[in-house]
Structure 1
Amino acid sequence: MRQSSNKKREVTASLYLRLSRDDNLDGESYSIGNQKKLLTAVAKEKGYTNLLIYIDDGISGVTMNRPDYIRMIEDFENNKSSALFVKDLSRIGRNYIEVGKLTEEFLPEHDIRLVAVSDNIDTQEGENELAPIKNLFNEWYARDISKKRRISNKIKGNAGEPMGMPPYGYMKNPDGSKSWVVDEEAANVVRRIFDMTLEGVGTHQIADILASENVLIPTSYWISKGIGRPGSKTALSCEWKSSTIVSILSKQEYCGDVLNFKTYSKSYKNKKRYANDRENWVIFKDVHEPIIDRAVWETIQERRSRKTRKKQKADGEKNMFSGLLVCADCGSNLWYHFNQANHDIQYFNCSGYNKGNRKICNSTHYIRVDFLEKVVLGEIRRLTKLATQYESEFAKIVMGHSIKAAEQERQLKQKELNSLTARDKELDNLFEHLYEDNVCGKISDDRFAKMSVKYESEQKEVSSRIKELQTELESEKSKAVTSDMFMASVRKYTRARKLTPRMLNELIEKIEVHQSEKIDGKTVQRLTIHYNCIGAIEIPDLDKLPENNVSVHTRQGVDVHYAACAS
């Protein structure tokens, strides 16, 4: 039986075929079909009647981690074949060290004949001294191709050509160009995700809703449409994850932009992609048709960047004001509560008040939710009336505050950046003097080591903050949420009768809550509403605008009245 097995091995040859972009498709002779025809003919010519075919199509020769290559090696170890046929050594790979180990160690140890047709190599006819040199040239070729491709990609990327695959919601233009067009079926899902987020629905909840409606996840959607994408699996799934929703919400591409160089590879031998610093990205705006309004996208990014404490109501729902309210005195977030005896009484108070040894605020800044809802809805109604009844005045106020707020924020960040840059240079000088003092013997090695650690730690923090500020300032220059967009958002709610989470998310950045105080014998609560894009504005008292005379009767028998406060 063993003799029969060995006899079968002697007439069995393995044909290995590989093709990838690295080969630059050097003519039709490199196609998988032609490789197979050539190797089959040569193997049969040399007396092999049983042929095992291994094909890795579309995989770089730089990596040896290829499915059929690995399967072939396992078959060699199990004595299933006695020969390896390839068109040339570059088909085995373009990794000098790994291919050398295979040809000079593994194959001889397993008594396997190697035939590389185009390289005129046949180990049964003796060693070929040029084989190691050919392997080296093959790796150099891969390196050269990689270098040329990097240069080409850099030119294309800097010219605005999309360098990656279109995200879920877009597809490649059928006309063959490099542009993207909206895939309406997927785009509708993207729009729903953004709409639900504006309405205050969390990412886990959105994932559960889409899963319950049997909406295919992006990779499964591409499979169902016959679109090949990296990482795609054969099984279809509707199991959405929160991380997928977060990824979709973060994509600026949905505004119509192209973002190139978001990732990079460290070496032509390492195909893994690494996240690039945002300062190295190249962004082109309004290149393709947007799926999401830029104002909506910017609003959601700003809201998601906040760290909030989302305490739930007694019935399990989250309050729509959570994350929007801040203390006017200490800047802490206000936390949501409800009365244990009467759950209908819901309120917020300052998280910095009465924290034991960490008390940072002297007042509760207590405010009722029902009072908040009436006040904010009243202010939005006044704002929408101003927009419709006094269009020119509204435009002047909005544009003026937008420019002023942006400039104030830019100046503060620039001032901090200048200060940190100066400190960074100062630390460099301190390091230099410290080193000189140590060399001259003015300070001991132990003292030098301690001070070095201190300065290095500080400089690391300074450098990190400098990078953050530079990125933020650069982002401010190109920030596209304009006063026109805010005015369009305001006009959408002209007939609003009820306050909704979406309305708050689209219009309001934050609300500063002041401690209630006695004014002329009345208890007054002042609020400063900061609107998205423009900050806090004071709505003028004009004839056609409704007044916002809100008051609430508390359980202590005190009437609290609202007073607007613009900063």
Structure 2
Amino acid sequence: MKRSNNKQKEMTAALYVRLSRDDNLEGDSYSIGNQKKLLTKIAKEKGYTNLLIFCDDGISGVTMERPGYKAMIEAIENNKISAVFVKDLSRLGRNYIEVGRLTEEFFPEYDIRLVAVSDNIDTQEGENELAPIKNLFNEWYARDISKKRRISNKIKGNAGEPLGLPPYGYIRNPDGKNWIVDEEAAKVVKHIYDMALGGLGTDQIACRLEEEKILTPVNYWYSKGISRPGLKSSQEYPYKWHHSTIINILSKQEYCGDVINFKTYSKSYKNKKRYENDKENWAIFKDIHEPIIDRTVWEKIQERRSRRTRKKPVTGEDKNMFSGLLVCADCGSKLGYHFNQANHDITYFNCMGYNRGSRKICTSTHYIRTDFLEQVVLGEIKRLMKFATLYENEFAKIVMGNSIKTAEQERRSKQKELNSLLARDKELDLLFEKIYEDNTLGRISDDRFSKLSVKYETEQKENEVKINELQAELDNEQNRAVTSDMFLSSVRKYTRARKLTPRMLNELIDKIEVYQAEKIDGKKVQRLKIHYNCIGAIEIPDLSKLPENNVSVHTRQGVNVQYAALAV
């Protein structure tokens, strides 16, 4: 037993106050302020003149990992406190085992007087036989409230009512049922998407926002008096954006106007940690609130980000605005970006399938100069713009036809892959039955059965993920259809463009197939097939009013290469 004759300790009491939504208490008698007033009055009446207040606001009693509570325990262990005052035992916690250990072992060990006002408990006046029962009821209460809240959240979540806090750019509607746009923050969100479309990486965007002295989301909420649990503002670095924050903003589907519920879950009412939920368990409701970002723009950003490799670039493989867009027309490999060793001003792309040493999967380099590529693509975009301007009806017909054709091709391809995976899934079920039977009859050993089981199970789990993804893509295919008007509006934005920009490429072009240069009629010719977003490759008719795209460049071998459009 740790006793002390310290006079100051004898006159010092800890007032512990706690409140969280788990308590679901009515009236204001349990408010933090009223708990403090009540405990201060009672403690002074019992002769304590030095009062230390420890507070946990908004933290559940089922966990003992509470800052205020832990600070009080530390003060007790440092022999600074002789008594603890609480409104009732549930304030100490709603964990039967932990609170029991606290009141029956820890407090007596340190000679701590416990006063629970509403429960009429004062250990100085003797033990209370009902205390253990009260602790048990307190935990049952927490369990019951958690169960009711889970049911309530399930009902609300499946009805399309947002369960989480609104992301940066939105605020909760006063009616509490949906979100409304926070215009000031929404401008920053749009700015971030504009920079991403312009080809800037997440680190570059973060630096740009810091230079422009734009408050980070946490500091913005703090400046507006908006409380966000678990987040702390930084007054020292209020403009210090992190790339992870940018990634989070660029990946949020909620900016399209959607509500996504059940993205995370907790395992029990005692474990408040949130775990990532499988996407198949999400509940997605589209167009519930006003969008900040156009859906086609959001989908384009996701597509671009999914193409990025995690491999750290090495010398000669710096990013270029065409990186990730170029594919080999023969083997389908990406084209890698390089510079000429003798003259670094000359940059080019070539097939990565050809560059794989002994594992070559392509027989040609598919070499193409960057300056040649820029001229060709800009020229094709200008021809497309001219065609759209002079022959709008014809252009609309072609775009609509290509859009439907491309969507149907993608749908057939995905459906074929899905059917193949589903067939394999059934085949794996049969294989499981077969090896189980063979093992039971002694045809294969237990060790062999175990290895095959692991192999088949692993493959089936991997296939299950792919099946769910493909099924979701097919289900949402109609939402990704793009009309000729939408594509026209994108094209028209660059009517007077004189230079190719990353944003133009991101908004207009899906991919570019590069063919190996070849000799035709004694001239070396490079062919490209440009696939535009949503409409695929489009063949522009040979009309008199349209400009020709005559581009040629001298290669490193001193050979003149000309561009030739590829018929679709």
User: Same fold by TM-score, threshold 0.5 exceeded?
Assistant: yes
Which residue identity is paired with 1:92?
L
| Compared CA separation, residues 297 and 447, structure 1 to 2 (3 A) | closer
The answer for the alignment partner of 1:129 in structure 2 is 129
Q: Which residue of 2 aligns with 1:542?
A: 543
Identity of aligned pairs, percent? Answer: 76
Alignment check: 8 A CA contact 1:335 1:348 kept: yes
Distance 2:266 2:481 in 1: 30
| Residues 403 and 481, structure 2, Cα contact 8 Å, conserved in 1 | no
Alpha-carbon offset, residue 93 of structure 1: 0.7
Cα distance, 1:5 vs structure 2:
4.9
Q: What is the number of residues matched between the two proteins?
A: 564
What does 1:150-165 correspond to in 2, within 5 Å? 150-165=150-165
Q: Deviations over 1:504-544 (max 9, x none)?
A: 11100110001122223332221110111121121222343
In the alignment, the residues of structure 2 paired with residue 49 and residue 354 of structure 1 have an alpha-carbon distance, to the nearest angstrom, of 81
Structure 1 residues 522-531 or 398-407, which shifts more?
Answer: 398-407
Cα deviation code 1:308-361 (max 9, x no counterpart): 5897998x9742212111100011111222323334433221111143211111
Determine the structure 2 residue equivalent to 1:387: 388
After TM superposition, give the deviation of residue 129 of structure 1 in Å: 2.5
CA–CA distance in structure 1, aligned partners of residues 169 and 94 of structure 2: 37
SS in 1 for 2:6: helix
Give the partner amino acid of 1:243.
S
Q: In the superposition, relative to structure 1, how do residues 126 and 3 fare at CA in structure 2: closer, same or farther (>3 Å)?
A: closer
Residue in structure 1 matched with residue 465 of structure 2 by the alignment: 464
- CA distance in 2 between counterparts of 1:69 and 1:25 reads 20
User: Which runs of structure 2 are paired with 1:62-101 in the superposition (5 Å)?
Assistant: 62-101=62-101
| TM-fit CA distance, 1:55 | 1.9
CA distance, structure 2, for counterparts of residue 156 and residue 404 of structure 1:
40
Residue number in structure 1 paired with 2:204: 205
> What is the aligned partner in structure 2 of residue 167 from structure 1?
167
Deviations along 1:212-249, one digit per CA (max 9) or x if unpaired, are 33332221222222222231235242222222222221
| Alignment of structure 1 residues 345-384 onto 2, 5 Å | 345-384=346-385
Cα distance between partner residues in 2 of 1:296 and 1:458:
35
Map 1:93-242 → 2, pairs under 5 A:
93-173=93-173, 175-230=174-229, 231-237=231-237, 238-242=239-243
Report if aligned partners of 1:310, 1:323 keep a CA contact under 8 Å in 2. no
Measure the CA separation in 2 of the matches of 1:55 and 1:547: 75
Cα RMSD between the aligned structures? 2.6
Conservation of the 8 A alpha-carbon contact between 1:483 and 1:533:
no
Distance 1:383 1:322, change over 3 A: same
How many Å apart are 1:148 and its aligned residue? 1.5
Question: How far apart are residue 121 of structure 1 and its match?
Answer: 2.2
Q: Give, in whole Å, the separation in 1 of the partners of 2:251 and 2:555.
A: 42
Question: Secondary structure in 1 aligned to 2:114?
Answer: strand
Give yes or no for contact 2:481–2:534 (8 Å, CA) kept in 1: no
Amino acid at match of 1:183: D
Residues 219, 481 of structure 1: alpha-carbon distance in 2 compared, 3 angstrom cutoff:
farther
- Aligned partners of 2:3, 2:518: CA distance in 1, in Å? 102
The AA in structure 2 aligned to 1:25 is L
The one-letter code sitting in structure 2 at the alignment partner of 1:472 is: E
Q: Any conservation in 2 of the 1:278–1:471 contact (CA below 8 Å)?
A: no
**Judging changes above 3 Å, is the alpha-carbon distance between structure 1 residues 216 and 53 closer, same or farther for their aligned structure 2 residues?**
same
Deviates more, 1:447-456 or 1:528-537: 447-456
Q: Is the Cα contact below 8 Å between 1:216 and 1:236 reproduced in 2?
A: no
- 1:222-371 counterparts in 2 under 5 A? 222-230=221-229, 231-237=231-237, 238-308=239-309, 318-371=319-372
**TM score, norm. by length of structure 1:** 0.92
Q: Which range is displaced more, 373-382 or 340-349?
A: 340-349
Contact 2:387 2:546 in 1 (8 A): yes
User: In the alignment, is the contact (CA less than 8 A) between 2:259 and 2:288 conserved in 1?
Assistant: yes
Task: Point out the more displaced range, 424-433 or 493-502.
Answer: 424-433
In structure 1, distance between residues paired with 2:396 and 2:269: 54
Q: Distance in 2 between matches of 1:47 and 1:354?
A: 84
Scaled by the length of structure 2, the TM-score of the pair is 0.92
Cα distance, 1:191–1:356 mapped onto 2, change above 3 Å: same
Q: Distance in 2 between matches of 1:325 and 1:310?
A: 19
Closer/same/farther in 2, CA of residues 549 and 45 from structure 1, 3 Å limit: same
Aligned to 2:8: 8
Does the 8 A contact of 1:114 with 1:122 survive in 2? Answer: yes
Q: Secondary structure at the match of 1:443?
A: coil
* Matched-pair contact (CA < 8 Å) for 1:536–1:566: no
Q: 1:432 to 1:555 in 2, by over 3 A?
A: closer
Q: Secondary structure at the match of 2:39?
A: helix
Question: Which residue is equivalent to 1:31?
Answer: 31
Cα deviation 1:397-456 (Å, max 9, x = unaligned): 222222222222222222222222222232223222322222222333233233333323
What are structure 1's unaligned runs of at least 5 residues?
Answer: none
Displacement after TM superposition at 1:176 (Å): 4.8
> What amino acid maps onto 1:529 in structure 2?
I
Shift of 1:266: 1.8
Stretch moving more, 206-215 or 503-512: 206-215
Aligned-partner SS, 1:29: coil
SS for the counterpart of 2:404 is helix
Q: Which moved more, 1:553-562 or 1:234-243?
A: 553-562
Quickly say closer, same or farther: Cα 1:478–1:146, change in 2 above 3 A.
farther
Q: What is the CA–CA distance in structure 2 between the aligned matches of 1:336 and 1:74, rounded to whole Å?
A: 59
> How far has the Cα of 1:503 moved from its partner?
0.5
Please list every run of 5 or more consecutive structure 2 residues that lacks an aligned counterpart in the other structure.
Answer: none
| Aligned AA (1:218) | P
CA distance in 2, matches of 1:311, 1:115: 64
The alpha-carbon distance between structure 1 residues 340 and 12, as it changes in their structure 2 partners (threshold 3 A), is closer
One-letter amino acid of the structure 2 residue matched with residue 463 of structure 1: E
In the alignment, the residues of structure 2 paired with residue 107 and residue 312 of structure 1 have an alpha-carbon distance, to the nearest angstrom, of 62
